[in-house]
């Protein structure tokens, strides 16, 4: 591999590593803010004497279209609206859409990548598997570190976070897979996918609520939310 190709490959590895860290942060933030948003929404309705149950009944069909899973068959009866905003985009025009809601078959590159990194995992496991680690004359801290790394790498293979395996292999001087061009193609697609997931999460009311610094901003967000889920609400 040429110097320029290696540089491009290393930059993509670093970019993907950063994006997955960003995705984890965004997901944790949106999930933890969900309960706070729910509580603030309930209190907002109470303070302003808003009959949410009546609004739910009046707009049940619209709520069903926002909250129902389009990939599941419906019996025509709208599910009760819980008040949660976790599935409602803050700005529908900016929210990326998945095509068809149907899982796509893995490409040849994806299948080959998984097989290649499965082989790398087996090499790592030969060194870090609990049976191997516990049989060595190592300190308790060294064993703990290696066992934690084994679990991390095992999870990464299942989640297709292959850069974790690359980092581990590099740390323990295990030869890396040489399919750099294929890895580069795959990482570019993965970067697009992770960016898509980040955009979807940050464009939710839960995440937007976490960014609000004042009650005025929170009230404005709740009002925007109610206008979206209850058409015609003023």
Query: Per residue in 141-178, pLDDT tens?
Result: 999 999 999 999 999 999 999 999 999 999 999 999 99
Q: Look at residue 174 and give its three-state secondary structure.
A: coil
- Looking from the CA of 208 toward its CB, the CA atoms found within 13 Å total 21
More confident residue, 82 or 160: 160
State the pLDDT at residue 79. Answer: 42
Query: What is the per-residue pLDDT for 91?
Result: 58
Distance of alpha carbon 86 from alpha carbon 186, whole angstroms: 30
- C-alpha–C-alpha distance, residues 115 and 111, integer Å: 6
Task: Say how far apart CA 187 and CA 54 lie, in whole Å.
Answer: 49
Inform me whether the pLDDT recorded for 120 exceeds 90: yes
What is the structure's pLDDT at 189? 92
Distance between start and end Cα atoms, the chain: 62
pLDDT score of 81 more than 60 = no
- Cα(206)–Cα(201) distance, integer angstroms: 8
pLDDT at 228: 84
Q: Among 84-98, 185-199, 200-214, where is mean pLDDT lowest? A: 84-98
Is the pTM above the cut of 0.85? no
Q: Is the pLDDT of residue 103 over 60?
A: no
pLDDT the model gives residue 229: 84
Percent above pLDDT 90 for the chain: 59
How far is Cα 91 from Cα 76, in angstroms, rounded to an integer? Answer: 27
The pLDDT value given to residue 107: 83
Question: What would the mean pLDDT of 61-73 be, rounded to a whole number?
Answer: 62
Domain boundaries, the chain: 110-195
Give mean pLDDT, residues 72-98: 48
Q: What is the pLDDT of residue 8?
A: 92
For residue 88, pLDDT over 70 is answered with no
Mean pLDDT, rounded, of the chain: 84
pLDDT tens, position by position, 2-54: 888 889 999 999 999 999 999 999 999 998 998 899 899 989 999 999 988 88
- 174 close to 123: Cβ distance less than 8 angstroms: yes
**Residue 98 corresponds to which tokens in the numbers above?**
């998945």
* Of 84 and 111, the one with more pLDDT: 111
Which residues are CB-contacts of 200 (< 8 A; sequence separation ≥ 6)? 89, 95, 96
């Amino acid at each position: 591999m040429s110097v320029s190709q290696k540089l491009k490959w290393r930059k993509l590895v670093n970019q993907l590593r950063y994006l997955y860290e960003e995705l984890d942060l965004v997901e944790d933030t949106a999930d933890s803010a969900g309960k706070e948003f729910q509580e603030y929404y309930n209190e907002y309705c109470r303070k302003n004497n808003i009959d949410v149950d009546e609004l739910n009944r009046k707009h049940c069909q619209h709520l069903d279209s926002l909250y129902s899973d389009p990939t599941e068959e419906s019996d025509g009866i709208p599910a009760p609206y819980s008040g949660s905003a976790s599935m409602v985009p803050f700005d529908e025009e900016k929210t990326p859409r998945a095509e068809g809601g149907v899982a796509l078959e893995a490409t040849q590159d994806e299948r080959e990548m998984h097989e290649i990194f499965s082989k790398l995992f087996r090499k790592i496991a030969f060194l870090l598997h609990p049976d191997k680690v516990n049989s060595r004359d190592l300190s308790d801290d060294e064993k703990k570190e290696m066992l934690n790394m084994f679990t991390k790498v095992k999870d990464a293979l299942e989640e297709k976070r292959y850069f974790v395996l690359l980092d581990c292999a590099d740390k323990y001087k295990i030869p890396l897979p040489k399919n750099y061009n294929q890895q580069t193609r795959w990482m570019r697609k993965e970067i697009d996918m992770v960016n898509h997931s980040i955009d979807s999460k940050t464009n939710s009311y839960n995440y937007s609520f976490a960014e609000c610094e004042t009650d005025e901003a929170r009230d404005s967000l709740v009002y925007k939310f109610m206008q979206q889920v209850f058409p015609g609400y003023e």
